[in-house]
Structure 1
Amino acid sequence: MSSSPRFALVAGEASGDLLAGLLLGGLRQRWPELSSVGIGGPQMAAQGLEAWWPSDKLAVRGYVEVLRHYREIVGIRTQLRQRLLHGERPDVFIGVDAPDFNLELEANLKAAGVRTAHFVCPSVWAWRPERVKKIQASADHVLCIFPFEPALLAEHGVAATYVGHPVANVVPLEPDRLAARRQLDLPEDAPVVAILPGSRGSEVDYLARRFFDAVSLMHQARPNLCFVLPAVPSQRERIERVAREAGVAGYVRIVPGQSHAVLAACDVTLIASGTATLEAALFKRPMVIAYNMNWISWQIMRRQRLQPWVGLPNILCGDFVVPELLQDEASPPRLAQAVLDWLDDPGRVQALQARFVQLHHELRRDTAALATDAIETLLAR
């Protein structure tokens, strides 16, 4: 086995970039001389990735939204496949989440003899269960972030390892709210509401105005509330424009990145469905989960759901421990009231925090080491 293996990785959005950055850190501890190329963002670049395309090129969700970018995305995948097979062939390809992009690429690479791993099992237990056949054809090994997934994949002959959720090791079991508020220059004793409308442009387009209109209603009802929004760099200008159009720019603090500090600082968060909801749960923060997308995309996805929940905290807890307001239900008045309800019920918050502490322990593993062990076994094949 080489002391300087070559890895290719693809992560398709901010959450994938975070996970891949953590994974690359573990791989680099094992192989300090490794090289890595592919598609990624700032977290992966900080670990030495040579990014051929930025991860936000793939940050699109929803059937109609994907169709609008289809030609560009397929073109990137074709160029990447050719470059990996005929130019800079990796020892292992690791697709990080983004299954609609990565699984087909992995299948092509695997058929050509490249060892492949997929980090973050596609949620076949939640919707589109037929994808397990695609996983079987695409990935030599799957790195799972939820404990029930390896057994499910084993039923279909897919090798998998539970590695825990990397963010569970990054987030402290007892987040320091006061330190986070000082870091962000927020009042120490005022109630703080975190606003997280998503990291994709399509999410910002569909959710930001709804969230800001809800902020306006909350501000009218309780002028003492503080609002803070962590904007990913690629979406900050768009978010600031929508805030001005909604008339809330004067009392919503928009900060560059720092989503973890914002979640640590807040009392409650209004948040787009996605990986960030699990991060909010690990910070033990009550939340209102919302989502809105193109109507056609929603109708297709709604019919393919296998579970009554959409938000990861609810799926993992097996119950509606936090409210979900989706599509037409995600109206500004309902969003605002659901957030205020958390602020008015400390007993409910305390019970939720106890459940989230339990969840945190379930997900906390030495992810980097476990994932690196699995990759090392794959390299030795």
Structure 2
Amino acid sequence: MSLVLSMVAGEPSGDLLASRIIQGIRAKDPQLSASGIGGPDMQQQGMNILHPMDDLSVFGYVDALKNLPRLIHTYLSFRSSVLRLRPDVFVGVDAPDFNLRLEHHLRKKGIPTVHFVGPSIWAWRYERIHKIRAAVSHMLVLFPFEEEIYRKEGVPVTYVGHPLAAQIPENPSKAQARKRLGIEEGGRILAILPGSRASEIAQLAPRFLQAATLLLKEDPSLRFIVPLVNEARAAQFKAILANHDLPNLRCFSTRVAEHPIAWDIMEACDAALVASGTATLETALFQRPMVISYVLTPLMRRLMEWKAGQDGPTLPWVGLPNVLLREFAVPELLQEAATPANLAQACVKALTDTTYIEQTEEKFRQLHRTLNRDTAALAAEAILATANA
């Protein structure tokens, strides 16, 4: 009898991850029946979309409060659908606020639950482990150190690797990336990645561009390249850029290959100035030295401090490469420390200190090998085992 699967992914990265899992399960069970909340990648793998993933798309607490009625309606409607369907297993991909609540309810009703992409309890709000233990039959994690955390807390867990490591080449080519982008060979290039959200660009772009201005005074030949995720963010960034004299800066917003434009930028650059988030891991997998930065708005900072009660360990690192390497392999300049002068000084080292650059590249090569596993197959195996338990 074929497996009946219910699944939820709430954003594009989750949609891509989920589609690969569906592909992995279908390789073992061609008659798989899948339905749930997702996007075009999941639909392409044959999943019946009951609600579009845009119904879950919110950015931060303020946006979540504004859209609370829509979120509640989607949650209740979908929960009823799953209970009527009685799938063999439910898989929640990321979106922890939505999925863990749903998983808790479904598990109480006798439906096995798998959660893919463990919430970053190792960074803040460790107390969520109690909710996870009650909600999740099996946890699938992206990073090896997470396995020990969940196992110690009594949560069945499997490390499945990070799919980005399989997508990003182990031997990236700076020359080929520059050719694809139409950038001349020679000379140093700093990538500027100020984030993909309006709030990130508002906080970081002015600081990053002021740092670039300082760097250009020291090295007039230095060039800057910037990926912009969509038209709205491009317009926002260019409005800020208009206040800075940076003739050596080029913006890119159109894909030149099947992957995001940011990947070509990361591969083409010598070093990057990057907003904390998934982009730091991508930059590390492209083996480029970087400076990580982040600045929260005063409101978001107060909200996070209010939510960040801890009854477990926190880590001294924020950037994913540092968290994974368990050291400050690259600098992190956050909040008040993220001054243009500090950012520029850190970028000089990332661009010119050859010993540091070689050491950083080697650390990132090892990291790439550690994270590169057959994620889809490992996840599919764990999901099928949970469904059949």
What TM bracket, shorter-length normalisation? 0.7 to 0.9
Query: Structure 1 residues 12 and 223, CA, compared in 2 at 3 Å: closer, same or farther?
Result: farther
The answer to which of 12-21 and 110-119 deviates more is: 12-21
Residue 380 in structure 1 maps to residue 388 in structure 2: yes
Query: Match for residue 339 of structure 2?
Result: 331
1:376 to partner: Cα distance: 1.1
Distance 2:34 2:87 in 1: 9
The answer to which of 207-216 and 317-326 deviates more is: 207-216
Query: Structure 1 residues 26 and 187, CA, compared in 2 at 3 Å: closer, same or farther?
Result: farther
1:223 to partner: Cα distance: 4.1
Q: Give deviations 1:57-87, integer Å, cap 9, x for gaps.
A: 42413x445434444433433333233334x
Gaps of 5+ in 2: 255-259
Residue 278 in structure 1 maps to residue 286 in structure 2: no
Residue 244 in structure 1 maps to residue 239 in structure 2: yes
Report the count of equivalent residues: 375
1:129 to partner: Cα distance: 1.3
Query: Match for residue 170 of structure 1?
Result: 167
The answer to which of 266-275 and 201-210 deviates more is: 201-210
Q: Aligned letter for 1:237? A: A
Distance 2:40 2:203 in 1: 25
The answer to which of 19-28 and 265-274 deviates more is: 19-28
Query: Match for residue 115 of structure 1?
Result: 112
Q: Aligned letter for 1:22? A: R
Give secondary structure in 1 for the equivalent of 2:6: strand
1:160 to partner: Cα distance: 0.9
Query: Match for residue 142 of structure 2?
Result: 145
Query: Structure 1 residues 241 and 109, CA, compared in 2 at 3 Å: closer, same or farther?
Result: same
Q: Give deviations 1:282-337, integer Å, cap 9, x for gaps.
A: 11111111112232432454655711111111111111111111122223333233
1:191 to partner: Cα distance: 2.3
1:121 to partner: Cα distance: 1.5
The answer to which of 107-116 and 366-375 deviates more is: 107-116
Distance 1:40 1:202 in 2: 25
Q: Aligned letter for 1:173? A: E
Give secondary structure in 1 for the equivalent of 2:327: coil
Query: Match for residue 94 of structure 1?
Result: 91
1:83 aligned residue (81, 84, 95)? 81
The answer to which of 297-306 and 347-356 deviates more is: 297-306
Query: Structure 1 residues 258 and 335, CA, compared in 2 at 3 Å: closer, same or farther?
Result: same
Query: Match for residue 16 of structure 1?
Result: 14
The answer to which of 70-79 and 318-327 deviates more is: 70-79
Query: Structure 1 residues 47 and 189, CA, compared in 2 at 3 Å: closer, same or farther?
Result: farther
Query: Match for residue 311 of structure 1?
Result: 319
The answer to which of 191-200 and 132-141 deviates more is: 191-200
1:10 to partner: Cα distance: 2.6
Query: Match for residue 271 of structure 2?
Result: 268
Residue 196 in structure 1 maps to residue 193 in structure 2: yes
Q: Aligned letter for 2:372? A: R
Query: Structure 1 residues 72 and 199, CA, compared in 2 at 3 Å: closer, same or farther?
Result: farther
**Root-mean-square deviation over aligned CA pairs:** 2.7
Distance 1:300 1:105 in 2: 24
1:119 to partner: Cα distance: 0.7
1:105 to partner: Cα distance: 1.6
Distance 2:53 2:147 in 1: 30
1:41 to partner: Cα distance: 4.1
TM-score normalised according to structure 1 size: 0.87
Q: Give deviations 1:24-56, integer Å, cap 9, x for gaps.
A: 332333334434443334544443444422358
Query: Match for residue 54 of structure 1?
Result: 53
Q: Aligned letter for 1:60? A: F
Q: Aligned letter for 2:267? A: A
1:262 to partner: Cα distance: 2.1
Query: Structure 1 residues 69 and 193, CA, compared in 2 at 3 Å: closer, same or farther?
Result: farther
Pair member with larger Rg: 2
Give secondary structure in 2 for the equivalent of 1:228: strand
Give secondary structure in 2 for the equivalent of 1:148: helix
Residue 39 in structure 1 maps to residue 47 in structure 2: no
Query: Match for residue 128 of structure 1?
Result: 125
Q: Aligned letter for 1:11? A: A
Q: Aligned letter for 1:238? A: R
Query: Structure 1 residues 339 and 32, CA, compared in 2 at 3 Å: closer, same or farther?
Result: farther
Query: Match for residue 345 of structure 1?
Result: 353
Gaps of 5+ in 1: none
Query: Structure 1 residues 40 and 210, CA, compared in 2 at 3 Å: closer, same or farther?
Result: farther
Distance 2:19 2:149 in 1: 27
Query: Structure 1 residues 44 and 212, CA, compared in 2 at 3 Å: closer, same or farther?
Result: farther
- Contact 1:166 1:364 survives alignment (8 Å): yes
User: What percentage of residue pairs aligned between the two structures are identical?
Assistant: 44
Query: Structure 1 residues 55 and 282, CA, compared in 2 at 3 Å: closer, same or farther?
Result: farther
Give secondary structure in 1 for the equivalent of 2:13: helix
- Contact 1:140 1:158 survives alignment (8 Å): yes
Distance 2:153 2:141 in 1: 15
Distance 1:41 1:199 in 2: 19
Distance 1:7 1:197 in 2: 38
Distance 2:240 2:303 in 1: 31
Residue 356 in structure 1 maps to residue 364 in structure 2: yes
The answer to which of 141-150 and 330-339 deviates more is: 330-339
